[in-house]
A and B are shown apart, each in its own frame.
Chain A
């Protein structure tokens, strides 16, 4: 990402923020759509913009047909059109690459993936399914095109649903102070997570000392410890990268006056695989639940069928990321985890195991965290051969000797700081929240004002902390200032160092 890109993004954001103050709704929507189309053309090119517009028109037209006659056959045609489009651009080139003799396939092997197609085709499908379910949706063509092309989400989501977006397109939030301060904080958090934390984990503290080198370098066989360290390291890298991107996008949309669905809710605090999937990539996970899993499991009433449906849905989820067997294996792995969790719950009811509650919670958390981390081997590995080698190291007791470790020591240090730092941060935030809630309650009961000079009965440190907390909670628009300062610094550094190469969002690869 160059300095020019940052300036362009800032300009797009500023113009979109200005749009929220336009009173005429249709003009506001038109301006946002124009900005979105310009941005998409700039990032992806005119041909793909025309493709996005064509997809929007086809989905809108088919939706009007479906609204008049919500039949299963018409729904399947609509879904089929979207899946065909996605399949043609996403899976055909990958399958051609797998078969060298298909070099005669000509242009099919040169197809480029349009930006965000995995996300906006899913939004199109969800619109058709919602009409089939007789949701009360009546977007204008302008509103529907804006939903499909909304620039903060068009590249990599979150996958938005029209029932939540439409009211916001029709009436912008009036809580400008709230929106600006919350949006600003989210953007700053996102920039730090993606461009500092994720980037550091990816490249490491020294050459060859990051997650990328760990997976991609030709090295002596990795030890069991190395594999776990790489799995956990990649887990944090992709979390900081994608959650950082989500923070930036959600924050930017909030500045515009739009609240987007969240993608993450502290996923690495999950205590079961089922809970993990209600906290990781939530917009897509819930999409798969509502539009793949639920229709699938209604086809049969056998007791075992929902479990099969879980596995099929997760394999589809894996394939959504790309036409690689490793992604399908990752989906299958998580499907098995989910089924295993459900079966385990049923067994636990029959064979109750009494553990002290904190120990039980810790073991559930540790088991979930380790199993989820292990799954990243499938996700990140370059091929199934590498998966096999790494998993063999994991299950081989002899590979855990410290002398067998092949990753640099500073990688282990970096990982410890990142993982430990993340959990410590989450713990501190919760403790601070708990503390301020209790002190606010005490203050309320003692009828003291919320300023330091009124807290004569309380230590000054408490008063200072409460004052800062009150300041942040006050939602002032000028909290946007740190965002502007940070942008200025990053832009200046990018212009000064033209060779800077900040890794793209991992999820734009999908």
Chain B
């Protein structure tokens, strides 16, 4: 079963969630470019009902780091 955070990434980037993992980043996922990064932020904020600061967004360079940022905000992912 795909976890909810990976599913958000898969839906926004329109790719198979099976190719994503916590090490996925703009460096190894072609669809994850600068504009889709902001769509990801909007989707994460809507899905998990959080508001991310500039610093938190800048820290989200991989899915794993995005997960950690959400966990720091007490979001169970």
Contacts and interface: CB of A to CB of B under 8 A. Distances in A.
Interface of A: 70, 72, 129, 132-134, 274, 278, 289-290, 293-295, 297-299, 301, 306, 310, 342
The majority secondary structure among interface residues of chain B is: helix
B34 A298 contact: no
A134 B54 CA distance: 13
Contacts of A134: 59
B1 interface: no
A222 B75 CA distance: 63
Contact of B34 (A129, A289, A301): A289
Interface string B14-53: 0000000000001000000111011001100000000011
B2 interface: no
Q: 10 closest A-B pairs (Cβ-Cβ)?
A: A298-B54, A298-B57, A133-B59, A306-B38, A289-B34, A133-B58, A297-B38, A293-B34, A306-B35, A295-B54
Contact of A294 (B34, B42, B53): B34
Nearest to A306: B38
A295 B58 contact: yes
27 contacts: A70-B55, A72-B54, A72-B55, A129-B58, A132-B55, A132-B58, A133-B55, A133-B58, A274-B33, A289-B34, A290-B61, A294-B34, A294-B37, A295-B54, A297-B37, A298-B38, A298-B41, A298-B52, A298-B53, A298-B54, A298-B57, A298-B58, A299-B54, A306-B35, A306-B38, A310-B35, A342-B35
A298 B57 CA distance: 7
Interface of B: 26, 33-35, 37-38, 41-42, 52-55, 57-59, 61
Contacts of B41: 298
Contacts of A133: 55, 58-59, 61
Contacts of A278: 33
A293 B54 CA distance: 12
A235 to B, nearest CB: 23
Contacts of B55: 70, 72, 132-133
A134 B55 CA distance: 9
Contacts of A70: 55
Nearest to B59: A133
B32 to A, nearest CB: 11
B46 to A, nearest CB: 10
Contacts of B42: 301
Contacts of B61: 133, 290
Contacts of A132: 55, 58
A142 B34 CA distance: 34
Contacts of B38: 297-298, 306
Given A132-B58, A134-B59, 11 more contacts: A132-B55, A290-B61, A294-B34, A294-B37, A297-B34, A297-B38, A298-B54, A298-B58, A299-B54, A301-B42, A306-B38
Nearest to B52: A298
B66 to A, nearest CB: 13
A298 B42 CA distance: 10
Contacts of B59: 133-134
A274 B34 CA distance: 10
Contacts of A297: 34, 37-38
Contacts of A295: 54, 58
A134 B52 CA distance: 16
Contacts of B54: 72, 295, 298-299
The listed residue with most A CB atoms (<10 A of its CB), out of B37, B42, B59, is: B37
B55 to A, nearest CB: 7
A298 B54 CA distance: 6
A129 B41 CA distance: 19
A69 B53 CA distance: 17
The listed residue with most A CB atoms (<10 A of its CB), out of B26, B33, B35, B54, is: B35
Contacts of B53: 298
Contacts of A298: 38, 41, 52-54, 57-58
A25 B58 CA distance: 33
Nearest to A278: B33
Nearest to B56: A298
A342 B61 CA distance: 22
Nearest to B42: A301
A306 B38 CA distance: 7
A72 B55 CA distance: 8
Contacts of A294: 34, 37, 57-58
A292 to B, nearest CB: 10
A297 B38 CA distance: 7
Contacts of B34: 289, 293-294, 297, 306, 310
